[in-house]
């Protein structure tokens, strides 16, 4: 039987998605503030107002049986400008959150960068600018120096693939670029910056561990043909390997670099930087799992990315083709999909955990897992039986992988409470706790919150 005594059961948020207070206490503008304001889109100016509700939110985590809280620090709240001037009020806010966590017996699991680049760096080219890599390392050092006595679990980046590809390839996130060569450069800079962050952590001799969090999507093929297996390798390099191989092994997949170098200039990947990447690998891997990627060999058409950010209005519109590489099968008749075209596929979590365990041999945390739905939160309690079913099936899949040897050390539900879901706005709800955005952001635990509490308190006895 598995020993779950030290297992980290928790939930997760991200700074821009929940804090609000976008211009309070000397916080400066982020790239998301700038983009959403300029475009007149729904924004996170207030979001869940965690900035003023964190004590209530963390108390509810404790009362919900949770042992850990995964959240991110806001670079624009901590560093005021390119010169590196520190905002003491920003540091004070995170000290209050960390103290509140410890007072409630909650382990902080802290991400240094969850997408909210300061606008002053975006204006210099963002992740296309190598200077930003050094700036990230300096920002990370400020975080280590100020919070190292209160944090033992650190994460450099949340989901490099998602924010890089959305920002520079698909173009549906800021800076809204659609350029393969710039995508490759931004991706490289982010992984180099992550290694520089790990280097600062190691050289500082801080206690604890440091890892990276990846938007993990194990790749399946439609059949066993060799053409399909080649397409799967292309898809795996695109979806997973450039993050996980680079962070865990210190090596960018050479077949990926070989393929890219045929069409694009990658001479900016300098030997001394690759050496830093090689020498500064992570202690653990965080995997955000929502679904798998099912692929077939490329047949025809230009590279196409259509992401459904509009829910039921766009259901069925998602499409992914990478010319000469692979096509993603988005609408398997044997599967169930959410309104946002996300396949519900718990088996992918089990298979993926075993794959990652066998490949890298590092401790693993499931750093996000959840389901986004439309919900009426005006009722006394949201009866989200679908979320309970989703979590139950995925936690069972996790346990099956653990029984077969996967070294999984924690599970974080996404999300702690309803929050702003980037381009999907606030109507796509993931929370264990409802937030009524129209009525003073009142918090109301959903049925899933109670189920999760009881499951944790029973050591998941009915799920093992």
Residues designated as active site: 159, 368
Write down the residue that tokens 């969090």 correspond to: 213
For 265-313, the DSSP string reads --TTS-HHHHHHHHH---SEEEEEES--EEEE---SS--EEE---SGGG
Answer for the pair 180, 165: CB distance below 8 angstroms, yes or no.
Answer: no
CA distances, 150 to each of 76, 82, 147, 383, 387 (Å):
21, 27, 5, 36, 32
CB 51 within 8 A of CB 20: yes
* Burial (Cβ within 10 Å: 0-12, 13-18, ≥19) of residue 245: buried
Beta bridge partners of 108: 69
Q: Coil, strand, or helix at residue 221?
A: strand
Do residues 168 and 182 make contact, with C-beta atoms less than 8 angstroms apart? yes
User: How many residues in the chain?
Assistant: 464
Instruction: Say if CB 173 and CB 309 are below 8 A apart.
Output: no
**E strands within 323-446?**
326-328, 336-337, 343-344, 364-368, 408-414, 433-436, 442-445
């Amino acid at each position: 039987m598995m020993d779950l005594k030290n297992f980290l059961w928790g939930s997760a948020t991200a700074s821009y998605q929940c804090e609000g207070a976008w211009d309070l206490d000397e916080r400066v503008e982020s790239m998301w503030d700038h983009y959403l304001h300029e475009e007149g889109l729904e924004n996170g100016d207030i979001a869940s107002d965690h900035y003023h509700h964190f004590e209530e939110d963390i108390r509810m985590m404790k009362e919900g049986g949770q042992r850990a809280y995964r959240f991110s620090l806001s670079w624009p709240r901590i560093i005021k400008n390119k010169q590196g001037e520190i905002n003491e009020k920003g540091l004070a806010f995170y000290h209050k959150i960390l103290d509140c966590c410890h007072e409630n017996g909650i382990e902080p699991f802290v991400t240094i960068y969850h997408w909210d680049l300061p606008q002053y760096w975006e204006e210099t080219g963002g992740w296309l600018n190598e200077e930003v890599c050094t700036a990230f390392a300096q920002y990370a050092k400020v975080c280590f120096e100020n919070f190292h006595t209160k944090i033992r679990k650190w994460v450099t980046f949340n989901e490099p693939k998602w924010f890089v590809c959305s920002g520079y390839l698909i173009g549906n996130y800021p800076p809204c670029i659609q350029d393969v060569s710039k995508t490759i450069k931004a991706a490289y800079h982010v992984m180099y910056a992550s290694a520089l962050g790990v280097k600062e952590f190691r050289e500082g001799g801080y206690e604890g561990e440091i890892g990276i969090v990846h938007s993990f999507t194990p790749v399946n093929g439609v059949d066993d043909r060799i053409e399909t297996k080649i397409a799967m390798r292309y898809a795996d390099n695109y979806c997973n390997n450039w993050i996980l191989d680079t962070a865990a092994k210190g090596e960018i997949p050479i077949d990926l670099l070989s393929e890219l170098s045929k069409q694009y200039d990658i001479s900016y990947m300098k030997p001394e930087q690759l050496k830093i990447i090689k020498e500064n690998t992570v202690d653990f891997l965080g995997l955000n799992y929502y679904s798998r990627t099912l692929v077939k060999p490329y047949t025809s058409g230009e590279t196409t990315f259509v992401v459904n950010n509009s829910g039921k209005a766009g259901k069925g519109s998602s499409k992914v083709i990478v010319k000469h590489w692979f096509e993603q099968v988005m609408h398997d008749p044997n599967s169930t999909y959410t309104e946002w075209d996300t396949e519900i596929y718990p088996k992918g979590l089990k298979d993926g955990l075993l794959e990652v365990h066998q490949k890298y041999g590092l401790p693993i945390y499931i750093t996000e897992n959840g389901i986004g739905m439309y919900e009426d939160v005006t009722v006394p309690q949201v009866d989200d039986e679908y979320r309970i079913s989703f979590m139950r099936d995925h936690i069972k899949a996790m346990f099956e992988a653990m029984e077969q040897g996967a070294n999984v050390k924690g599970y974080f539900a996404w999300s702690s409470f309803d929050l702003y879901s980037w381009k999907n706005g606030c109507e796509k709800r993931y929370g264990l706790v409802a937030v009524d955005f129209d009525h003073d952001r009142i918090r109301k635990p959903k049925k899933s919150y109670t189920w999760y509490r009881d499951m944790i308190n029973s050591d998941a006895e009915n799920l093992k």
